[in-house]
Amino acid sequence: MLATACGSAPSRPTSADYRAASVSTAQLASATVAPASGSLVSGKLSLTPMTGGVRVSGELGGLGRGSTHAIHIHEKGDCSAADASSAGAHFNPAAATHGKVGGGAHHAGDMDNIVASADGVARVDVHAEGVTLGGGAANDIAGRALVVHAAPDDYSSQPAGNAGARVACAVITIQQ
C-alpha cells in the first residue's frame, strides 16, 4: 500500500510506483506468435529487460502491405480461443486509462503501433513501460500474452484504443 497524507484516501499505484518497486529477474523471454481470427499473422518476438520496462523485438509476417497494427500485452497467457479473446483485457495492474507510452497515463500493456513493410512484414522494436520480466511482481509480464490487433491503436479510445479484432496471439515464455 502506498503511503498517504494524514486524512487522505490511499491512492492507486501508478506505473511509476511499479517501476520503482520491482525489477526484472529474467534476462530473456520469447513469444511465438500464432494467427487468430482467421488471419495469417505469425512470427517470433524476443523480450528483454531495459531501463523502465521491457523491449519487444522481432518480426511478424502475414500482415497487410503497409498496414499499421496495435500490439498490446494482455492479462492472461491464454491464446486458446480462435479469436484470442481468452487472453483477456489489456494488462493494467495500475488501473490506468488507456493511452500512449511516453504520452501520459497508459496501461502497462500499451505499446506503440507496428507498421508492416510493402511485403507484409513488421520489424518490431517497441517498449512496454513500467513492466518487469520475471520475479512475480504485480507488473510482471512473464506468462501473459502479446496480442496483435487488426487496426492501429488510436491511443485515446477507452478501454483499448479502438484497435479492432485480435489477429495474432502469443504467450510470453521466460527462456532459461
Per-residue confidence of the chain (176 residues) as pLDDT tens digits?
A: 333 333 433 344 444 444 444 677 768 899 999 999 999 999 999 999 998 899 999 999 999 999 999 999 999 999 999 999 999 999 999 888 888 888 877 888 889 999 999 999 999 999 999 999 998 889 999 999 999 999 999 888 888 878 999 999 999 999 87
pTM of the model: 0.85
In degrees, to the nearest 5, what angle opens at C-alpha 130 toward C-alphas 58 and 52? 75
CATH architecture of 15-174: Sandwich (2.60)
Cell numbers at 52, concatenated: 523502465
Q: Which of 119, 141, 122 is nearest to 132 (CA)?
A: 141
Cβ–Cβ contacts within 10 Å for residue 77, how many?
A: 20
Residue 98 backbone dihedrals phi, psi, to 5 degrees: -70, 145
